[in-house]
Structure 1
């Protein structure tokens, strides 16, 4: 089961209100359900908040600004990615400058990452069998 801390919920709520330009542009496109996938924005999970996620395919999308290249952020991102990997999430990190320069390419990369993962639930081929049926 996926759960989140109270702190993660507070952070997610605050982040949904702010939003930087690359995230706003990505969200504008992800709301249209590219590839038929549903996405969530600023989704809390454990003690972390994912920029975007497709829960059906367990893909976490992180839009990394320049701050992710400084200080201890690269090491924190590696630990965070490992934590998500243990929970069967694939992490797709997209530089913010790439989003600003090639939004269509960023969306295509996200859809491709979702396509590459098996669905969490397989659609049924019809109604469930009745009691006593094979």
Structure 2
């Protein structure tokens, strides 16, 4: 397994080189009515670096470009998602085109994942570290 320092450095590099789609979603996530918690971007979790992470809900958001259609990449994504879910995380995936064409639908789905429904009130969340 790759050392923690190497994974953190890789995550930092990814944060510095975000894609246009990641920048759009990041700005939108900052406007979500979620008091008491936040989303983080390019976060190392286990052997992986995830695009966006809400620690209070153990929710991971992944953005996929066209190369994720390749068989090898899709297989890797599937294995990666299975590992993350086995560790107790929820993973939702969006295509880059979803962010470009229908950001409102993407944000509604994220809101539902965080709060349970579109009608739910945005209550403060607390992050409880797992040991």
Q: TM-score range by the shorter chain?
A: 0.7 to 0.9
Question: How far apart, CA to CA, are the structure 2 residues paired with 1:71 and 1:56?
Answer: 33
Give the conservation status (yes or no) of the 8 Å contact 2:32–2:111: no
Seen in structure 2, the aligned counterparts of structure 1 residues 77 and 61 have a Cα distance that, compared at 3 Å, is same
1:26 aligns with 2:25: yes
TM-score (norm 1): 0.79
The two structures have a TM-score, normalised by structure 2, of 0.81
Match of 2:73 in 1: 73
CA–CA separation in structure 2 for the residues paired with 1:46 and 1:5: 9
Which is higher, the Rg of structure 1 or of structure 2? 1
Counterpart-to-counterpart distance in 2, 1:33 and 1:44: 23
- Measure how far apart 1:33 and its partner are: 3.6
Instruction: State the aligned residue count.
Output: 117
Gaps of at least 5 residues in structure 2 are: 117-124
1:6 aligns with 2:5: yes
- Distance between the aligned counterparts of 2:74 and 2:126, measured in 1? 30
1:17 equivalent in structure 2:
16
Residue 60 of structure 2 aligns to a residue whose secondary structure is strand
* Cα shift at 1:120: 6.0
Counterpart of 2:119 in structure 1 is none
- Correspondence list, 1:23-62, <5 A: 23-36=22-35, 37-62=37-62
